[in-house]
Amino acid sequence: MPSKTDIRTLSKEALIAQLEQLGEKPFRAKQVYEWLWKKSATNFDEMTNLSKELREKLKLHFELLPITAYKVQKSNDGTIKSAFQLHDKHLIEGVLIPTEDRATACVSSQVGCSLTCSFCATGFLKRERNLTAAEIYDQVVLINQQAQESLGRNLSNIVFMGMGEPMLNYSNVLDAIEKITSEEGLNMSAKRITVSTAGIAKMIKKLGDDGVKFNLAVSLHAADDEKRNTIMPINEHNNIEVLIEALQYFQSKCKGELTFEYILLDGVNDTIEDAKKLIAICRQLDNVKVNVIEYNKIEQADFHKSTIDTRDKFIDYLSKYKVIANVRKSRGKDIDAACGQLANKSK
């Protein structure tokens, strides 16, 4: 028997064409499409306004491959980390981060990661494969259900800061965001979505060419090439000068917010001299903000977080020179859900 098509890999036009070949009217395909992306159906039997005959026909020719919650952990601070199982048994992790005024989903874009950043647990995993657009979308749906159940409200924000490098899964990430933001999908605002990248210059320029509406965060973590090469090997092929040029291009084309993520590592990148270099980078861009992040300990690396005094002096120096800097408090450390800690320990 021929293999079935994963129905969520089809565009609406392709779905209409395939169902027409099966003798169905275009409006039936539109109903199916709504069940897939607006109502988030996980099997064909949920599609109750379709005839039983059509549902059986769909089962015969197509398959639905939803992700499922494999293990869920709740932190003392209310953060919820989920290990999600994919149809091929791979695991990824996603996090619900609640605050007083927000409910944020942190989602993954790849199984593992290929970038080997030395302070990040995911960087020590092998990159197995890219996630499909549907697998990214499913994380949002399931974490939104968690927000409804545990907080009594819907997600307010989505950040692509989980496992993997979103720019190395470009088309699927953008397709997922289209499904999440479309009126035919979840209808969330693109302004509430932030995609984080380690700084792949050519793909940042492509974001500009594609005129994306979401926000961009760049994991900078060091303000000169020598230090950044040491902790982020990707800098050897995407150095700071090249990165700045790409970000200038992005800002000339897109109106989304731009943020630098900067993990303070004791004795590595936390001096006033480092702050001066960071200010020089920020001055070459428009309205860029800095999120200062405390380092979260991982087993694989011998880094330490900067002292509170060092952190405060660093931020005060940035503020003195009109760079907007905020401390991003880490959540879920007790369940390895904080920034840099996702490592699939749930197996």
In whole angstroms, what is the distance from residue 187 CA to residue 249 CA? 28
Q: How far apart are alpha carbons 109 and 153 in whole angstroms? A: 25
Q: CA angle, corner 278, sides to 272 and 282, nearest 5?
A: 140
Q: Is 339 tagged catalytic?
A: yes
Check residue 237 and report its DSSP letter: T
Q: Which tokens in the block code for residue 340? A: 């840099």
Using DSSP's 3-state secondary structure scheme, residue 17 falls into helix
Does the annotation count 93 as an active-site position? yes
Q: How far apart are CA 303 and CA 151, in angstroms?
A: 35
Question: Rounded to an integer, what distance in angstroms lies between the CA atom of residue 202 and that of residue 226?
Answer: 21
CA atoms within 13 A on the CB side of 283: 10
Quickly tell me which residue has 């490592």 as its tokens: 343
- Catalytic residue from among 93, 135, 261, 294: 93
- For residue 69, what is the enclosing H or E element? strand 68-74
DSSP code for 132: P
User: Which residues, 6 or more positions from 311, have their beta carbon under 8 angstroms from its beta carbon?
Assistant: 264, 270, 292, 294, 327
Tokens of 241: 């000068």
- Give CA separation, 164 vs 195, 277, 329, in Å: 11, 28, 22
Torsion of CA 238, 241, 243, 245, to 10 degrees: -130
Q: Which residues are catalytic?
A: 93, 339
